[in-house]
């Protein structure tokens, strides 16, 4: 039993209710197995998911509410996975959104079985992943750092970064360049020149 | 003012609702506005001018100065950093004011500006409006109250083609501005053309043939465009009719394609997306072909190749190979040494003889000879690769020069014949020749061409190009080291030794070519170095070469290669003192060439330099960049205008200038490249505008704008929308009796959000909007609910930058129910990606992964998915239903760092150089904890760039961070290759 629970920890547990859901076909990156659980999908220690398609919601508007009420409070993350499978989405989605939000559930929308399945897989796979990939950071090579910095100025694109870099030689030279020098770079038009120059020369605080 | 302008104004004033005026571009929009300002009287209230660009503001002011001398009543700006009570005073002063919509809407909502104090509203650039834009919001705030006084809204646009994009755009714009009259004033309007064609200027149309290489490039680019278009058509996703190469010449083409593809953007493949952006690149290439000189063009191509790299489709097409090849050929050519005899056979015998020597053992002497004699070839020591400089000049340059000479000559003749200066010449500025180019860059370059001569300009560009190449390779360092070792051959000191080892193996042509380029570059840099070292001697030397270079270029025309000064073999030049001794030797070995070159050199000297300086005087020339948008006719009063880059708007401006000064003689020259896309584009722009007007005329005849009994415009279906808010409200109420909505709902909105249309729509739904500056979140719906709104583009961007993570983090810290609103756009698809785009594996870059990760880390974060702004407004209303109203003072204080006091009701962007702060925060070494200190202690980024590392360490609180930052700032850019 110990080994099977060890295996279970690495698998998504699926409620018997979900039998026949075409979504299951698309869970390929993680193992899954049926189990007796209250939620539809048990994704890890503290996270679970309920599945609802908008079409089903239109037929049974109260279904989601009752399902959420059944869930225990001890899940940290309670996902409502909403399959958007109708054309006229605004009203049903509005209701689902409202129900999920007012009952402490996180709503995720997928537009295909593949996408819904991928959300389940990802939440499982990323169970213990740090948030590095969505935190502020960048590639460490010089050009991508330079690009990262310079493209924060509106209208400046990657080609311009290369142009600026090769015409001035270093970032400090770019920052110190005069309007005329900037204007001489191919592809840097009037508007970009002004934006660049203003960014570098206008004081950080406009009002003293 | 011309008669037709008066007609426009009086037509517009007829309807108390105001109206929408659409003009041909180039017609005097600003003088129209100026005359409307003259009609304004402060006693009736203030006149607000919305959405004027900076150049429009200044040209309106200029027109006012002309109309209202000596003490004009110029409209003033309402800056966002002005304290709020000052702003309120300005609004009630009855003056004419320039306001940005974002500020005005906030002031209207906070009653700093009361509608009764406004006499009329003037909106420029009406083509940018839509029914959810802020201007429409303002019009509604001013006009929607049925009992308020009727404030006329006067809207203007001089972009007719933008007015017809999309379905019934003009009608929708008019409805949202509450106006019912559409005034169309195309250039072909009877009154307009009567006024403008009474005394038309004298026009000379000059067609300059393009060089064969340019033609080649143009046809190759067009071919590539055509291929891209064909490919795009094959996707069956776009309306084929709109996809023509002609339309592809305009910027708006991207918009056409994007508008068609946007709703299905998620379903189209990477390749199609790439095609769309390739088309844009190609259009730029066409444009730059006629605007940039050959070297700069090549440089731009190089940059493109690096930055576009592997992604582009077109870069691998056959035709694009041709583009690169031809662009290179305009600048230089690479020839194998052993082929050289063949390639130079058709040239003069001297050249041939010299080539023979090349094959001889006495390389030293040869080098000496070529160095002292301005040979135009660089020989790669081992591979025998020769770099020949072509440096093709832009054909228009020469024509421009001749044209200027001709103008001056004519003037002299005229003066001689009349015996005295012409009457007009009395006003001293009238003999100025105005040359109009597209951009500032071309202006500068043409100015140099006139003052220094075309060849010199090309040579300088070439020098810069080579130096750039050399720098990329860190050549200088290697060079310095190697040059200390004695080398057997003189031409290529140092760096070529390294090149030669590579060349020992059979290597590709491009490799050899690269080496040759580098060799040339190193020589140029050596030359520069030694000119400093040695002093006068080499300077004389090099000057002589200038003359020679020009001579050959001139004498033999474009087919012959022009010569530059890069040929000098570096370390030998140090012996410039010995030059004289060596010269005789070389003269012996190759007597004929030097003899035949000498006279040439002499003549060239004259034809080259002297025609610049002495022989043919030029009239005073003023260069003018069309991009700069300054109207300088009335300042300069030119009598001759040369349209170097013809442009429809500029032509109209000339016509107006002429019509306003009927007595003045005016001659206009157009310089077109024969059979170029430049001509096509010019003609197509006229056709396109006429087409737009025809369509507008048709629309006008079918237009239906509802008005009430008093002739007031009823806005866009206001009444039924207020109801919709009550519906979900009452239906979802569970507990308690059904109370009617006695109190209106309130939403606190961040000032920055007024760029989006959600506040407008929320207001449409009957909510009260309270604009404040929020440090956390974008909307506060209740004391518990805070919303961060992300459009799809924003979402991806802020995931990539990591900003979203921080925003969610702070929101969670301060609010019970933090909400991330993902708002899709109505006219784009409702989904991130199509099923087949998802891929087989969990990929960290996919949006699904990022959202999942966000959700895992912030399980308390609530997500709201909204189909459109209107859906968002409904969701907001329903979320607020059971909640208390938010408290604005509390909301404002949330997340504000206690040490810097925040100014109430101010727009952050007006107080801070936000773009500089964003830039600063992206620099390595700069963190959340130290960027404020940097901001406080340096004035701006330029100053920061120059701070010494010790000072940085002080400010950043650490050596390591300071060093990281400093190193990044001063690092050499290792670009290209």
**What pLDDT, in 10s, does the model give residues B99-112?**
988 889 988 888 88
Share of residues in chain B with pLDDT > 90 (%): 10
Q: Which of B260, B251, B321 is closest to B281 using CA atoms?
A: B251
Neighbours of A2 (CB within 10 A): 6
CB contact under 8 A, A183 and B468: no
Q: Rounded to whole angstroms, how far apart are CA atoms B558 and B714? A: 68
- List the single range of A70-84, B60-74, B76-90 with lowest mean pLDDT: B60-74
- List the single range of A111-125, B585-599, B904-918 with lowest mean pLDDT: B585-599
Q: What is the mean predicted confidence (pLDDT) over B796-809?
A: 86
List C-alpha distances in Å: B615 to B405, B451, B611, B912: 10, 14, 5, 56
User: pLDDT for B239-278, tens place per residue?
Assistant: 767 677 777 777 777 777 777 777 666 566 677 778 888 8
Pair A118, B842: CB distance under 8 Å: yes
Neighbours of B860 (CB within 10 A): 16
List C-alpha distances in Å: B139 to B151, B175, B431, B680, B923: 9, 10, 48, 40, 42
**Residues contacting B568, CB < 8 A, separation 6+:** B371, B523, B526, B527, B538, B541, B542
Q: Please check whether residue A131 touches B, CB under 8 A.
A: yes
Is pLDDT of B596 > 80? no
What is the pTM assigned to this prediction? 0.68
**Residues contacting B11, CB < 8 A, separation 6+:** B19, B181, B183
Task: Write down the pLDDT at residue B864.
Answer: 95
Q: Please check whether residue A93 touches B, CB under 8 A.
A: yes
CB contact under 8 A, A198 and B915: yes
Q: Rounded to whole angstroms, how far apart are CA atoms B133 and B121? A: 15
Burial of B474 (0-12, 13-18, 19+ CB in 10 A): exposed
Question: What residue segments make up the domains of chain B, in order of their start?
Answer: 3-198, 199-209+395-411+430-476+617-674, 212-336, 746-831+847-893, 914-976
User: pLDDT for A142-181, tens place per residue?
Assistant: 888 888 888 878 778 888 888 888 888 889 899 989 998 8
Helices (H), B292-394: 294-308, 318-329, 340-344, 349-359, 363-373
Specify the CATH number for B3-198; select among 3.90.1170.50, 2.60.40.3880, 3.40.50.1220, 3.40.50.300.
3.40.50.300
Is pLDDT of B721 > 50? no
Distance from CA of A38 to the nearest CA of B (A): 19
Q: Which of B787, B722, B791 is closest to B749 using CA atoms?
A: B787
Neighbours of B159 (CB within 10 A): 19
CB contact under 8 A, B439 and A183: yes
Is pLDDT of B639 > 80? yes
Helix (H) or strand (E) segment spanning residue B667: strand B667-673
Q: Rounded to whole angstroms, how far apart are CA atoms B675 and B207? A: 9
Q: Rounded to whole angstroms, how far apart are CA atoms B637 and B121? A: 34
In the 8-state DSSP scheme, what is residue B497? H
User: pLDDT for B301-354, tens place per residue?
Assistant: 888 877 766 566 666 667 777 888 888 888 888 776 655 443 433 433 343 334
**Residues contacting B149, CB < 8 A, separation 6+:** B115, B116
Is residue A52 classed as helix, strand or coil in its secondary structure?
Answer: strand
Band (pLDDT 50/70/90 cuts) for residue B369 is very low
CB contact under 8 A, A150 and B841: no
Number of H helices, E strands in chain A: 10, 6
Return the residue of A nearest to B838 by Cα: A115
Q: Please check whether residue B909 touches A, CB under 8 A.
A: no
B721 versus B129: which is more confidently predicted? Answer: B129
Q: Please check whether residue A154 touches B, CB under 8 A.
A: yes
User: pLDDT for B514-557, tens place per residue?
Assistant: 777 777 777 766 665 555 444 444 333 433 333 333 333 333 33
A vs B: CB pairs below 8 A: 261
* Torsion sign over Cα B208, B212, B216, B217: negative
In the 8-state DSSP scheme, what is residue B907? -
Place of tokens 């300002």: B37
Distance from CA of B692 to the nearest CA of A (A): 27
Q: Which of A51, A66, A43, A54 is closest to A20 using CA atoms?
A: A51
Pair B884, A128: CB distance under 8 Å: no
Neighbours of B441 (CB within 10 A): 24
From chain A residues 20-59, the ones with a CB under 8 A of any chain B CB are 28-29, 46-47
Q: Please check whether residue B308 touches A, CB under 8 A.
A: yes
CB contact under 8 A, B945 and A171: yes
Task: Write down the pLDDT at residue B69.
Answer: 63
Its CATH class, for the domain covering B914-976, is mainly alpha
Helix (H) or strand (E) segment spanning residue B207: strand B202-208
CATH topology match: B3-198 vs B746-831+847-893: yes
Q: Which of B36, B53, B52 is closest to B44 using CA atoms?
A: B36
Q: Rounded to whole angstroms, how far apart are CA atoms B479 and B973? A: 19
CB contact under 8 A, B842 and A122: yes
The CATH number of the structural domain formed by B746-831+847-893 is 3.40.50.10130
Which of B307, B838, B935 lies closest to A159 in CB terms?
B307
Pair B790, B798: CB distance under 8 Å: yes
CB contact under 8 A, B864 and A121: no
Q: Both tokens of residue B4?
A: 């037709």
Three-class SS string for B216-246?
HHHHHHHHHHHHHHHHHHHCCCCCHHHCCHH
Pair B96, B121: CB distance under 8 Å: no
Burial of B500 (0-12, 13-18, 19+ CB in 10 A): middle
Is pLDDT of B474 > 80? no
Return the residue of B nearest to A43 by Cα: B856
Q: Evaluate the omega torsion of the peptide bond into residue B70 and state whether it is cis, within 30 degrees of 0.
A: yes
Mean pLDDT of chain B: 74
User: pLDDT for B695-708, tens place per residue?
Assistant: 999 999 888 777 77
Measured between beta carbons, the chain B residues lying within 8 angstroms of A62 are none
Pair B774, B750: CB distance under 8 Å: yes
Q: How many residues belong to chain B?
A: 977
CA B108 vs. chain centroid, Å, equals 34
CB contact under 8 A, B874 and A84: no
Neighbours of B24 (CB within 10 A): 24
Task: Write down the pLDDT at residue B415.
Answer: 79
From chain A residues 8-27, the ones with a CB under 8 A of any chain B CB are none
Band (pLDDT 50/70/90 cuts) for residue A48 is very high
Task: Write down the pLDDT at residue B545.
Answer: 37
Phi, psi for B594 (deg, rounded to 5): -70, -35
Hey, of B880, B915, B929, which one would you mutate to test binding to chain A, going by the most A CBs within 10 A of its CB? B915
CB contact under 8 A, A149 and B307: no
CB contact under 8 A, A176 and B942: yes
Band (pLDDT 50/70/90 cuts) for residue B975 is low
Q: Which of B551, B550, B554, B559 is closest to B596 using CA atoms?
A: B551
From chain B residues 601-660, the ones with a CB under 8 A of any chain A CB are 625, 627-628
Band (pLDDT 50/70/90 cuts) for residue B358 is very low
Distance from CA of A117 to the nearest CA of B (A): 11
Is pLDDT of A88 > 60? yes
Specify the CATH number for B199-209+395-411+430-476+617-674; select among 3.40.91, 3.40.50, 2.60.40, 3.30.70.
3.40.50
**Residues contacting B968, CB < 8 A, separation 6+:** A142, A145, A171, B923, B924, B925
- List the single range of A3-17, B443-457, B813-827 with lowest mean pLDDT: A3-17
Measured between beta carbons, the chain A residues lying within 8 angstroms of B942 are 175-176, 200-201
Task: Write down the pLDDT at residue B427.
Answer: 45
Task: Write down the pLDDT at residue A99.
Answer: 93
CB contact under 8 A, A206 and B910: yes
Q: How many CA atoms within 13 Å lie on the side-chain side of B712?
A: 15
Task: Write down the pLDDT at residue B748.
Answer: 93
What is the rounded radius of gyration, in angstroms, for the C-alpha atoms of chain B?
Answer: 34
Band (pLDDT 50/70/90 cuts) for residue A113 is very high
Distance from CA of A161 to the nearest CA of B (A): 9
Pair B200, B654: CB distance under 8 Å: no
CB contact under 8 A, A76 and B859: yes
Is residue B624 classed as helix, strand or coil in its secondary structure?
Answer: strand
Pair A63, A157: CB distance under 8 Å: no
Is residue B714 classed as helix, strand or coil in its secondary structure?
Answer: coil
Pair A173, B893: CB distance under 8 Å: no
Place of tokens 């996707």: B235
Give bridge partners of residue B185 from the DSSP assignment: B23
């Amino acid at each position: 039993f110990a080994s099977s629970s060890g295996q279970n920890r690495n698998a998504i547990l699926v409620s018997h209710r979900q039998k026949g859901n075409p979504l299951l076909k698309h869970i390929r990156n993680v193992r899954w197995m049926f189990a007796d659980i209250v939620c539809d999908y048990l994704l890890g220690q503290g996270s679970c998911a309920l599945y609802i398609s908008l079409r089903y919601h239109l037929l049974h508007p109260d279904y989601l509410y009752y399902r959420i009420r059944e869930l225990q409070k001890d899940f940290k993350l309670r996902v409502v996975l909403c399959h958007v499978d109708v054309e006229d989405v605004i009203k049903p989605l509005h209701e689902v959104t409202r129900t999920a939000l007012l009952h402490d559930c996180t709503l995720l929308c997928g537009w295909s079985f593949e996408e819904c399945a991928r959300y389940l897989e990802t939440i499982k796979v990323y169970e213990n992943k740090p948030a590095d990939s969505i935190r502020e950071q960048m590639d460490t090579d010089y050009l991508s750092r330079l690009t990262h910095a310079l493209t924060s100025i509106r209208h400046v694109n990657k080609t311009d970064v290369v142009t600026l870099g090769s015409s001035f030689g270093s970032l400090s030279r770019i920052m110190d360049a005069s309007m005329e020098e900037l204007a001489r770079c191919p592809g840097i038009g009037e508007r970009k020149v002004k934006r660049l120059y203003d960014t570098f020369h206008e004081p950080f605080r406009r009002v003293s | 003012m011309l008669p037709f302008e008066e007609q426009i104004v009086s037509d517009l004033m007829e309807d108390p609702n105001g109206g929408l005026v659409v003009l041909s571009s180039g017609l005097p929009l600003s003088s129209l506005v100026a005359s409307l300002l003259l009609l304004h009287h402060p006693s009736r209230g203030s006149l607000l001018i919305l959405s004027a660009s900076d150049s429009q503001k200044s040209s309106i002011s200029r027109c006012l100065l002309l109309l209202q001398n000596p003490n004009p009543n110029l409209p003033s700006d309402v800056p966002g950093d002005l304290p709020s009570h000052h702003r309120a005073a300005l609004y009630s002063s009855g003056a004419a004011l320039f306001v940005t919509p974002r500020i005005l809407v906030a002031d209207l909502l906070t009653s700093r500006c009361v509608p009764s104090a406004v006499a009329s509203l003037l909106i420029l650039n009406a083509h940018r409006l839509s029914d959810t834009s802020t201007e429409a919001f303002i019009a509604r705030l001013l006009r929607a109250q049925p009992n308020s006084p009727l404030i006329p809204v006067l809207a203007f646009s001089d972009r007719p083609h933008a007015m017809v994009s999309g379905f019934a755009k003009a009608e929708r714009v008019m409805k949202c501005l509450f106006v019912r009259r559409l005034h169309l004033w195309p250039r072909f309007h009877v009154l307009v053309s009567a006024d403008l064609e009474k005394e038309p200027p004298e026009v000379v149309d000059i067609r300059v043939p393009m060089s064969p290489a340019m033609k080649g490039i143009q046809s190759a680019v067009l071919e590539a465009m055509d291929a891209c278009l064909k490919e795009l058509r094959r996707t069956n996703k776009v309306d084929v009719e709109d996809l023509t190469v002609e339309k592809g010449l305009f910027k708006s083409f991207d918009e056409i394609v994007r508008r068609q593809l946007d709703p299905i953007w998620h379903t189209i493949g990477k390749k199609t997306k790439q095609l769309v952006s390739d088309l844009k690149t190609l259009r730029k290439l066409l444009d730059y072909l006629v605007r940039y000189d050959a070297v700069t063009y090549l440089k731009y191509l190089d940059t493109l190749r690096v930055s576009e790299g592997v992604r582009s489709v077109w870069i691998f097409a056959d035709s694009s190979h041709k583009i690169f090849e031809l662009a290179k050929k305009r600048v230089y050519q690479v020839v194998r040494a052993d082929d050289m005899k063949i390639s130079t056979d058709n040239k003069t015998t001297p050249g041939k003889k010299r080539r023979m020597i090349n094959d001889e053992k006495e390389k030293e002497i040869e080098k000496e000879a070529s160095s002292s004699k301005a040979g135009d070839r660089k020989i790669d020591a081992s591979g025998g690769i020769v770099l020949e400089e072509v440096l093709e000049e832009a054909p228009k340059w020469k024509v421009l020069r001749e044209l200027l000479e001709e103008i001056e000559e004519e003037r002299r003749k005229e003066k001689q014949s009349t015996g005295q200066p012409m009457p007009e010449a009395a006003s001293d500025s009238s003999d100025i020749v105005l040359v109009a180019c597209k951009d500032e860059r071309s202006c500068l370059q043409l100015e140099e061409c006139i003052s220094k001569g075309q060849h010199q300009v090309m040579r300088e560009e070439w020098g810069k190009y080579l130096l750039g190449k050399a720098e990329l390779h860190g050549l200088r360092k290697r060079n310095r080291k190697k040059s200390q070792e004695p080398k057997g051959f003189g031409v290529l000191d140092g760096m070529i030794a390294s090149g030669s080892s590579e060349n020992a193996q059979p290597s590709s042509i491009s490799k050899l070519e690269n080496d040759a380029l580098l060799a040339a570059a190193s020589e140029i840099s050596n030359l520069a170095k030694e000119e400093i070292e040695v002093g006068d001697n080499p300077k004389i030397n090099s000057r002589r070469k200038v003359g020679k270079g020009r001579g050959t270029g001139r004498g033999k025309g474009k087919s012959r290669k022009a010569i530059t000064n890069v040929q000098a073999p570096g370390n030998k030049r140090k012996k410039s003192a010995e030059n004289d001794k060596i010269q005789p030797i070389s003269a012996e070995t190759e007597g004929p060439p030097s003899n035949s070159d000498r006279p040439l050199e002499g003549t060239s000297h004259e034809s080259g330099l002297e025609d610049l300086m002495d022989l043919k005087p030029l009239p005073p020339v003023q260069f003018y960049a069309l991009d700069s948008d300054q109207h300088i006719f009335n300042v300069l009063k030119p009598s001759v205008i040369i349209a170097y880059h013809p442009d429809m708007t500029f032509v109209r401006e000339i016509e107006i200038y002429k019509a306003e000064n009927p007595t003045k003689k005016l001659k206009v020259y157009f310089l077109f490249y024969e059979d170029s896309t430049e001509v096509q584009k010019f003609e197509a722009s006229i056709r396109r505008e006429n087409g737009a007007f025809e369509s507008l005329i048709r629309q006008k005849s079918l237009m239906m704008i509802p008005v009430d009994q008093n002739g007031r415009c009823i806005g866009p279906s206001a009444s039924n929308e207020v109801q919709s808010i009550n519906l979900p409200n009452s239906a979802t109420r569970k507990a308690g009796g059904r109370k009617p909505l006695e109190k209106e709902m309130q939403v606190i909105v961040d000032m920055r959000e007024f760029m989006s249309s959600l506040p407008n729509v929320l207001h449409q739904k009957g909510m009260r909007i309270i604009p404040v500056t929020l440090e956390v979140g974008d909307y506060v719906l209740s004391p518990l609910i805070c919303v961060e709104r992300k459009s799809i583009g924003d979402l991806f961007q802020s995931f990539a930058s990591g900003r979203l993570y921080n925003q969610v983090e702070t929101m969670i810290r301060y609010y019970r129910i933090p909400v991330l609103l993902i708002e899709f756009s109505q006219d784009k698809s409702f989904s991130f990606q199509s099923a087949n785009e998802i891929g087989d594996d969990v990929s960290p870059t996919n949006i699904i992964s990022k959202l999942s990760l966000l959700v895992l880390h912030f399980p308390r974060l609530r997500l709201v998915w909204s189909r459109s702004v209107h859906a968002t407004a409904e969701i907001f209303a329903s979320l607020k239903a059971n909640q208390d109203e938010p408290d604005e003072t509390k909301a404002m204080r949330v997340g504000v760092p206690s040490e810097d006091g925040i100014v109430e009701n101010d727009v952050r962007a007006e107080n801070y150089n936000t773009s500089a702060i964003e830039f600063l925060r992206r620099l390595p070494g700069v963190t959340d904890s130290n960027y404020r200190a940097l901001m406080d202690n340096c004035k701006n980024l330029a100053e920061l760039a120059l701070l010494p590392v010790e000072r940085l360490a002080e400010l950043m609180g650490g050596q390591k961070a300071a060093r990281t930052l400093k190193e990044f700032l001063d690092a050499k850019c290792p670009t290209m290759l």
